[in-house]
Amino acid sequence: MLKYEWSKNLNQEQLDFLIQLPYTISLPINLKENVIIVHAGLVAGLPLEKHSEYDMIHMRNIVYEDYYDGEGIKPVKSNSIGQPWAKNYRGDHVYFGHNSKLGLQISECATGLDTGCVGGNYLTGVFIKGDRKGKFVSVKSKQNYKIKNQANDESNFQTNDETNFQELVELDAAVSNLKANDEDDLDELN
């Protein structure tokens, strides 16, 4: 049995299209800044071209191993060991998903947008340019798409949990207030 039943209905053209898609997308925001979009995560300090495809679609946390034993920072799939990779990431801002257990994650250089749509919660996005830059948008999932009794590391989906959405609304209001205060401060300086 396939993990995702829908995949057995794909024709060759659709499969070829999916196979050719990039693992990351880099988008220019302005002359000095880019954002990177990746499914799961990136390891700080590792050039983009050195990341493994597996890690970019599976990692959730990182563990620090003995550098002198040749390990250093090691990406891991589990939420139960290590720490979220985004907390220590530095570089172009990264937007990612794949970790609904932690919900909306906001760090200095990374934003996790997985708010549990597959598990029946919300699909969340953010504007990265224009007048609405930094504003989050969210819609309620039509249903819980999570396959029951799926034996994998994602079995801890939070279903019927309004907390992530309420936090998102409060965060959006807080970001708007900060931006308004910053604009007032700039007006006072001029």
Give yes or no for residue 177 having a pLDDT over 90. no
Give the tokens for residue 154: 């994602």
Cβ neighbour number for residue 93 with a 10 Å cutoff: 17
Please report, to the nearest 10 degrees, the dihedral formed by the alpha carbons of residues 89, 94, 100, 105 taken in order: 60
Q: What's the pTM?
A: 0.73
Distance CA 177, CA 125 (A): 19
Q: How many Å is the Cα radius of gyration of the chain?
A: 19
**Res 121: pLDDT:** 95
**Cβ atoms of 24 and 40 closer than 8 Å:** no
The mean-pLDDT minimum among 39-48, 64-73, 101-110 falls in: 64-73
Domains annotated for the chain, with CATH where assigned, are 5-189 (3.60.21.10)
Mean pLDDT of 52-70: 86
Residue ranges of E strands in the chain = 24-28, 34-38, 61-64, 73-76, 83-84, 93-96, 105-106, 110-112, 122-126, 136-140
Cβ neighbour number for residue 14 with a 10 Å cutoff: 11
User: pLDDT tens for residues 8-54?
Assistant: 889 999 989 999 999 999 999 888 889 999 999 999 888 999 999 99
